[in-house]
């Protein structure tokens, strides 16, 4: 399958193909829902999407998955090296994602400032552990979520000017990340991070200490449940705004984005269905349901590409 995708995208250079393969493996291993949705894109589109995911995942791994003894300074230095190589256009085997993402950025003329925004947010994760209010969290999500949505637009294509679709692409990236913040609040505490606005939590008499108690006792305090329900409502509102942008995408890309939209929004449903017990279980969409949504999306994708519904 990967050979078909690379051939369809016109990627023939052996070293470049290996970089794309590496990015695809990262996507398949770590981005279950995201990877499934990419199967609905045309083969020629998929390698570029894998490259963007691979670069983002690779940078995130520098922050979170290195040896526990690695200092903040060492992580910052490695992230700086990755950034310097990217912006100098220097791809090497030490950073296996770079060849693919640089090729993707050039091919689709993705503005480099979007990658700068992303790396800025990654640097924030080295030192920032709490966000006092929504504007502060939005500044973080500008690079960690909105920029990803904007990077995707040239690959997905639009029926009109990209500028018209851009606000909705940003909103969709934010909606997905807000879902992650709610689902992973317990896991994030393990990394000493809270991605929920402190002032909005305080309105329910919740702070980091209360969240830590929930984490340690594997249960959701009633006031934390109310606070998380309010954050859930915020995420729902962002989803409603983001949905408007799907019709602005190129027809062949809509089934992919609609499928990702459905699956991620159903994670929100699951969070609510388990009564916000996110400290004792991980909200997820079952395999059967994911395959059901994927199958329906596949039929729409084939029709959009003129293959019929078979």
Residues 98 and 178 in one domain: no
Give the chain's domain count. Answer: 2
Residues 76 and 147 in one domain: no
Residues 161 and 272 in one domain: yes
Residues 151 and 267 in one domain: yes
Any alpha helices (H) in 109-221, and if so which ranges? 112-127, 134-141, 147-156, 162-183, 185-190, 198-202, 208-217
Residues 99 and 41 in one domain: yes
The domain in which residue 146 lies consists of 128-309
Inside any domain, residue 72 = yes
- State mean pLDDT over 127-152: 96
- State mean pLDDT over 224-252: 97
Q: What is the pLDDT of residues 98-123, one digit of tens each?
A: 999 999 999 999 999 999 999 999 99
- State mean pLDDT over 240-253: 96
**Better-scored residue on pLDDT, 282 or 306:** 282
Residues 135 and 245 in one domain: yes
Residues 96 and 139 in one domain: no
The pLDDT value given to residue 64: 76
Residue 171 class from Cβ within 10 Å (0-12 exposed, 13-18 middle, 19+ buried)?
Answer: buried
State the Cα–Cα distance between residues 112 and 89, nearest whole angstrom.
Answer: 11
Inside any domain, residue 121 = no
Residues 163 and 264 in one domain: yes
Q: What is the pLDDT of residues 8-27, one digit of tens each?
A: 889 999 999 999 999 999 99
Asked whether residue 224 carries a pLDDT value surpassing 80, the answer given is: yes
- State mean pLDDT over 173-189: 96
Of 82, 112, 142, the residue at which a domain comes to its end is: 112
- State mean pLDDT over 232-243: 98
Residues 169 and 294 in one domain: yes
Domain containing 207 — which CATH number? 1.10.600.10
Asked whether residue 301 carries a pLDDT value surpassing 70, the answer given is: yes
Asked whether residue 308 carries a pLDDT value surpassing 80, the answer given is: no
Q: Per the structure block, which two tokens stand in for 100?
A: 């693919």
Q: What is the pLDDT of residues 249-286, one digit of tens each?
A: 999 999 999 999 999 999 999 999 999 999 999 999 99
pTM summary value:
0.91
Across the chain, mean pLDDT equals 92
- State mean pLDDT over 196-220: 97
Of 88, 112, 136, the residue at which a domain comes to its end is: 112
Q: What is the pLDDT of residues 47-102, one digit of tens each?
A: 999 999 999 999 988 887 655 677 888 889 999 999 999 999 888 778 999 999 99
State the Cα–Cα distance between residues 138 and 141, nearest whole angstrom.
Answer: 5
């Amino acid at each position: 399958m990967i050979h078909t995708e690379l051939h369809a995208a016109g990627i023939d250079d052996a070293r470049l193909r290996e970089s794309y393969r590496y990015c695809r493996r990262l996507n398949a291993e770590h981005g279950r829902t995201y990877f499934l949705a990419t199967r609905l894109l045309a083969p020629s589109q998929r390698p570029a999407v894998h490259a963007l995911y691979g670069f983002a995942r690779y940078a995130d791994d520098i922050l979170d998955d290195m040896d526990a003894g690695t200092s903040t300074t060492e992580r910052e230095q490695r992230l700086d090296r990755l950034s310097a190589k990217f912006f100098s256009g220097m791809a090497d085997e030490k950073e296996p994602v770079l060849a693919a993402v640089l090729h993707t950025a050039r091919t689709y003329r993705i503005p480099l400032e979007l990658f700068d925004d992303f790396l800025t947010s990654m640097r924030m994760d080295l030192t920032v552990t709490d966000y006092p209010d929504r504007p502060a969290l939005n500044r973080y999500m500008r690079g960690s979520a909105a920029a990803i949505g904007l990077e995707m637009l040239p690959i997905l294509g639009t029926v009109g000017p990209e500028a018209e679709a851009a606000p909705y692409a940003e909103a969709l990236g934010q909606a997905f990340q807000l879902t992650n913040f709610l689902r992973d609040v317990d896991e994030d505490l393990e990394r000493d991070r809270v991605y929920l606005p402190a002032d909005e939590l305080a309105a329910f008499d919740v702070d980091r200490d209360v969240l830590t108690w929930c984490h340690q006792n594997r249960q959701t305090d009633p006031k934390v449940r109310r606070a998380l329900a309010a954050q859930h409502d915020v995420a729902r509102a962002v989803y409603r705004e983001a949905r408007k942008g799907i019709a602005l995408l190129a027809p062949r890309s809509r089934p992919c984005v609609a499928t990702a939209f459905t699956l991620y929004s159903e994670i929100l449903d699951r969070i609510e269905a388990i009564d916000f017990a996110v400290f004792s279980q991980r909200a997820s969409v079952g395999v059967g349901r994911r395959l059901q949504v994927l199958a329906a999306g596949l039929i729409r994708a084939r029709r959009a590409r003129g293959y019929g519904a078979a």
